[in-house]
Structure 1
Amino acid sequence: MPAFPHSTSSTAIVVAVPPALSLPVIEAEFPRRLHPYWPRLQEKTRSWLLEKRLMPADKVEEHADGLCYTDLMAGYYIGAPDEVLQAIADYSAWFFVWDDRHDRDIVHRRPVAWQRLRFRLHEALDSPRDHLHHPDPLVAGFADSMVRLYSFLGKKWNARFARHFHAVIEAYDREFRNRTSGIVPTVEAYLELRRLTFAHWIWTDLLEPSAQTELPDAVRKHPGYRRAALLSQEFAAWYNDLCSLPKEIAGDEVHNLGISLIHHEGLTLEEAVKEVRRRVEECISDFLVAEKEALCFADSLADDTVRGRELSAAMKAIVANMRNWFSTVYWFHHESGRYMVDSWDDRSTPPYVNNEAAGEK
């Protein structure tokens, strides 16, 4: 099938999914959708990366489009106003660059640089306007993203988002310590930490400005909603682990569900791949059940009030986007240059990263 039916390219690209990573149920039952703003989104995020100096100009030119960061977001937050999707896409691109800096700080043993960045991000999260002109582009770019994301909904949503992202920063610090110490977390410890390093609740929070509605706690904490949200994110995290395993073994990683299974459960590599795949497939089937429960709950919200009807419509849009996460994540992993390890000159060093000692200056 075409990798991107809506691509701006005149040539349809057919992506060959390796059998070990192929999920026929996704290809058959989770149709791929794309926000109509995507071509402009791609162009503007590329410009934003340059403007904020988050990637060197040559790497933006050579790699930005092929990394497909905007494709991922444009396939998820369907229905979002253009300015909301643009802010999310820029933030997502920043997140990937941050993840790469974190990885390089680990690889090059730069604990001082990492701790400095960690504390600056905590500060920028709480007072982004004070950090818009910070000399570290990663801090300034993050502050720019936060000012924009905080402008869409109310103070309560902003405080929740900040609380969730403070936890993500601390999870990245735990991963830093694990990796520099060679500690492979147990399966249960890894799964708990992965929900934070993958930022499960951040991407879920962003479904609300996309639907232009801040959900009340009673809706967000409903079991059907929570379970559907969690399963969509678990699928993404574990499928990412499945696809990233060669890259992370090459890079002496310790944070991957497959690696934890090998190290602590005594599985062979082949057995670990099968077990991660089993969990991924279970996420899909469990989501289909949770999705029905969440949609039934959405129907029940549509009472005789305007507010009830608005909440019902917003929740249905959000649950539909949870479903979109499955297909957009799936195809992202087979189209993005981020996972094409076999094409890299050095399997442990991604060609799109700045491998210099950024952050030590």
Structure 2
Amino acid sequence: MSSGTVEAYADGLCYTDLMAGYYIGAPDDVLQAIADYSAWFFVWDDRHDRDVIHGRPAAWSRLRDELHAALDAPLSHLHHEDPLVAGFSDSVARLYSYLGDDWNARFARHFHAVIEAYDREFANRTTGVVPDVEEYLELRRHTFAHWIWLDLLEPSAECELPDRVLKDPSYRRAGLLCQDFAAWYNDLCSLPKEIAGDEFHNLGISLVRHEGMTLEEAVTDMRGRIGKCITEFLAAEKEVLRLAVALDDGSTAGGRLGRAVRACLGNMRNWFSSVYWFHHESGRYRVDSWDDRSTPPYVSDQAGER
């Protein structure tokens, strides 16, 4: 962004405020790394959108491959000519410094899947394919990066969780519910923007196209799904709290693990309030104030041209 655009829009986008609400209790350097990574993610999402709209398959394919490479060797891409790749490498290198090799490998595996999901969305949008509801919901768990945001709970709690926690049905369910809420609430709030931009990837659009709903019926359906995430999370939360008690077996390691699970669960809960706040405070969704309802005023159509 130019300095004038930064002054006009950056603070109003509230990207770093959003992360501060998600990962309460994280050390300052961890929170800064997550906030920088989150801001990068929004910029990447906008670049992807511009490449779709302006028919730049070669530019997108190049970026996709470069991000895959940077994810596996971030230190080798810190000075990449594309600032989007360089910024990604910087964020990933910092995130890789907090926990162990197993966490790093898991994060990389999850983000490789995110990149490939964005590639599938690119193909869908450039060929006019609107995924049906079930296909969309599965794809959305990757394009919203559910597993990445759940992974980042651990450096925030300064503890790498073992498989017996990560694979526990109650812990996994609570995590997915907080992320589904966030993704679907995002779909609800971004629906006007995405309809204006002829976007195909939104739960509401899939409901209209494949379930025969009117737009009003689709919005009602989305609200019902979003509300159900909240009530089901509250039930899962109780089970995870019982898990945390069971893990705290009186040993030093057990006590640390029990506290970490409580911290991660508390920040899952924070996703609900922070997502709600963000979508009503960030200028990203105030489409009525844009000259072109399909294009955020801070996005350059020249981004990605090399």
TM-score, scaled to structure 1 = 0.84
Q: Distance in 2 between matches of 1:193 and 1:58?
A: 36
Q: Is the 8 A contact 1:56 1:354 kept in 2?
A: no
Q: Which residue of 2 aligns with 1:282?
A: 228
Equivalent of 1:81 in 10, 19, 27: 27
Q: Which residue of 1 aligns with 2:279?
A: 333
1:132 counterpart letter in structure 2: L
Q: Which residue of 2 aligns with 1:360?
A: 305
- Percent identity over paired residues: 74
**1:318 equivalent in alignment to 2:267:** no
Q: Distance in 1 between matches of 2:245 and 2:170?
A: 12
2:94 counterpart letter in structure 1: R
Q: Distance in 2 between matches of 1:57 and 1:286?
A: 44
Matches within 5 A, 1:201-350: 201-350=147-296
Q: CA offsets, 1:33-57, max 9 Å, x none?
A: xxxxxxxxxxxxxxxxxxxxxx333
Matches within 5 A, 1:27-106: 55-106=1-52
**1:110 equivalent in alignment to 2:81:** no
Q: Which residue of 1 aligns with 2:72?
A: 126
Q: Is the 8 A contact 1:242 1:273 kept in 2?
A: yes
Q: Distance in 2 between matches of 1:114 and 1:350?
A: 20
Q: Which residue of 2 aligns with 1:199?
A: 145
- Residue 22 of structure 2: SS of its match in structure 1? coil
Q: Distance in 1 between matches of 2:207 and 2:22?
A: 30
Q: Distance in 1 between matches of 2:241 and 2:301?
A: 46
Q: Which residue of 2 aligns with 1:49?
A: none
Equivalent of 2:97 in 151, 175, 179: 151
Q: Is the 8 A contact 1:190 1:260 kept in 2?
A: yes
Q: CA offsets, 1:205-254, max 9 Å, x none?
A: 00000000000011111011000000000000000111111000000000
Q: Is the 8 A contact 1:243 1:339 kept in 2?
A: yes
Q: CA offsets, 1:60-85, max 9 Å, x none?
A: 22111000001110001000000000
Q: Distance in 1 between matches of 2:5 and 2:68?
A: 28
Equivalent of 2:130 in 184, 196, 205: 184
Q: Distance in 1 between matches of 2:261 and 2:4?
A: 42
- Residue 75 of structure 1: SS of its match in structure 2? helix
Q: Is the 8 A contact 1:76 1:328 kept in 2?
A: yes
**1:137 equivalent in alignment to 2:86:** no
- Cα RMSD for the two superposed structures: 0.6
1:151 counterpart letter in structure 2: S
> Could you tell me how far 1:58 is from its partner in structure 2?
2.5
Q: CA offsets, 1:151-199, max 9 Å, x none?
A: 0000000000000000000000000011111110000000000000000
> Could you tell me how far 1:355 is from its partner in structure 2?
1.7
> Could you tell me how far 1:262 is from its partner in structure 2?
0.2
Q: Which residue of 2 aligns with 1:17?
A: none
Greater than 3 Å deviation, 4+ residue runs: none
2:193 counterpart letter in structure 1: K
> Could you tell me how far 1:301 is from its partner in structure 2?
0.3
Q: Which residue of 2 aligns with 1:25?
A: none
> Could you tell me how far 1:116 is from its partner in structure 2?
0.2
TM-score, scaled to structure 2 = 0.99
Q: CA offsets, 1:308-343, max 9 Å, x none?
A: 000000000110000000000001000000000000
